[in-house]
Amino acid sequence: MTAVVFWVFAAAAVLGATLCVLNRNPVASAMWLMSTMFSLAAIFFLLGAELIGILQILVYVGAIMVVFLFVIMLLNLTRATTDLRGSGSIGATVVIIGLLLIELLTLWRYTPARLAADLAQAPTLSDPATVFAAGELSRHETAVRGVVGGLAGPLFQVYLVPFEITSVLLLTALVGAVVLAKRRL
């Protein structure tokens, strides 16, 4: 049953992503990207990660894609003309797609069992295996500490430093964007 639902949403995600790239109309592209995000959120739900799934919808579908749509509407883009002209850019495209394909093929060999074995052998900052051991512990955490607590615990206790560094990175990007966009500060 779960597998059927997974394949439905996985197919929808891939279809949405493909149509997003192939569509000439930027608004339609944005809508297909949104449907991809939605399917990904559904897959998170299937994994028992309700909070991440709902944050996927809240952040990507509800905020980021709306800003995309807003910009597209504001610039009034009607039909995208392709920038892919000439042998140089086509060559670059082929190289990028090839790299992505190799990445995918490598990931294909990564079974859950191998992932767990790798994580168990390499103790890092704090052993991730304690957090991700086949999803059992995260499920247990959710049952004990609620949906938010199960995620907030690792994020704000175990991985606090990486989390703060990421937020500083995002803040830097934000300030940089404002500095670049404003001619006179």
Partner 1 sequence: MTPEMKGFLLLSVLKMLFVFTVVMIGVAMLTLMERKVSAWMQNRLGPNRVGWAGLLQPAADGVKNILKEETYPAQANKWLFLLAPAMSFIPALLLSAVIPFAAPLPVDFDFTLGPLGRFVHHGLMPMVVADVPVGFLFVLAISSMGVYGIALAGWSSNSKYALLGGLRASAQMISYEVAMGLSLIPVLLMSGDVSFGAIIRSQQAGLWYVLPLFLSFFIFLVSGFAETNRLPFDLPEAESELIAGYHTEYSAMKFSFFFIAEYANVVTVCAMVTTLFFGGWDIPGRWDEQGGVLQTLATGGFFFLKLMFWIFFVMWIRWTLPRFRYDQLMTLGWKVLMPLALVYIMVICTAIYLIQHVAGITDPRLSALILFGVNIVLGILVFGLLDSGLFIKGAASRRPQTFEVPG
What residues line the site for partner 1 (CB under 8 A)?
25, 27-28, 31, 34, 50-51, 53-55, 57-58, 61-63, 66-67, 69-70, 72-74, 76, 142, 146-148
User: Given the complex with partner 1, which of 137 and 152 has the nearer CB atom?
Assistant: 152
CB of 121 to partner 1, least distance (A): 34
The span from the CA of 12 to the CA of 32, in Å, is: 10
User: Given the complex with partner 1, which of 55 and 119 has the nearer CB atom?
Assistant: 55
Reading the block at residue 138, the tokens are 């995260």
User: What string of DSSP letters covers 4-67?
Assistant: HHHHHHHHHHHHHHHHHHH-SSHHHHHHHHHHHHHHHHHHHHHTT-HHHHHHIIIIIIIIIHHH
Beta-carbon neighbour count of residue 152 at 10 Å?
Answer: 14
CB of 20 to partner 1, least distance (A): 15
CB of 22 to partner 1, least distance (A): 15
User: Given the complex with partner 1, which of 12 and 116 has the nearer CB atom?
Assistant: 12
What crossing angle do the helices spanning 26-46 and 65-75 adopt, rounded to 10°? 180
Is residue 56 packed enough to be buried (19+ CB in 10 Å), middle (13-18) or exposed (0-12)?
buried
CB of 146 to partner 1, least distance (A): 5
**What are the distances in angstroms from CA 173 to CA 36, 66, 73, 170?**
26, 20, 24, 5
CB of 3 to partner 1, least distance (A): 17
User: Given the complex with partner 1, which of 53 and 154 has the nearer CB atom?
Assistant: 53
User: Given the complex with partner 1, which of 74 and 84 has the nearer CB atom?
Assistant: 74
